[in-house]
Amino acid sequence: MKLLGLVFILLIASCQDYNSNSADESRYEEISFPPGASAELQASYRIIKDRCFVCHSEWSSYKTDQQWVDAGLVDFGQASNSSLIYRLKNFSPPGDMPTGAYPTMPNSEYQKLLDWVGP
Ligand code: HEC
């Protein structure tokens, strides 16, 4: 009977509707944005949340374009002048953010940030 119980628990545990790797998981999380937050901002926020908030927790309150500008991190239309962007690919090797053991942002995600910030 004990074994049956264990099998049942394993079955339930494997029925999650997302891949329980932490990055995926948080993309399905409800995040409330203020009215007018563009789809591009929202997609970028989710990426930054997964990859950067672990160290840059103060950024979690930036849910409007203007807040990113006011923080001096984004200059819309000027990716090369936006530290949020250039720290990802410039400096060696290849980009200095995120630091430490955290993996480099994949190009597909980098592209999403550019879709938001502009060229
Ligand atoms: C392991 C911790 C860590 C992670 C993860 C991390 N950072 Fe940082 N970041 C730091 C530290 C520490 C500094 C301050 C020192 C410096 O500027 O190099 C910093 C500074 C920065 C700055 C300059 C800060 C400012 O206010 O102007 C930017 C921009 C930045 N990080 C971008 C990112 C982005 C984008 C990500 C996610 C892709 C990221 N970081 C993930 C640790 C981290």
Please choose, from the candidates 73, 99, 101, 72, the residue with its C-alpha nearest in 3D space to the C-alpha of residue 85.
Answer: 73
Range 104-115 burial, b when 16+ CB lie within 10 A, else e = ebeeebbebbbe
- Could you tell me the pLDDT band of residue 110, with boundaries at 50, 70 and 90? very high
CB-based contacts of 111, cutoff 8 Å, min separation 6 = none
Cβ of 49 closer than 6 Å to ligand 1, yes or no, is no
Look up residue 117 and give its two tokens: 């910030």
Calpha distance 31→39 (Å, rounded): 13
In this structure, the residue with its CA closest to atom 35 of ligand 1 is: 84
Within 10 A of 97 (CB to CB), how many other CB atoms are there?
20
pLDDT in tens, 19-76: 445 555 555 678 999 999 999 999 999 999 999 999 999 999 999 999 999 999 999 9
pLDDT for the residue 21: 53
Cβ of 55 closer than 6 Å to ligand 1, yes or no, is yes
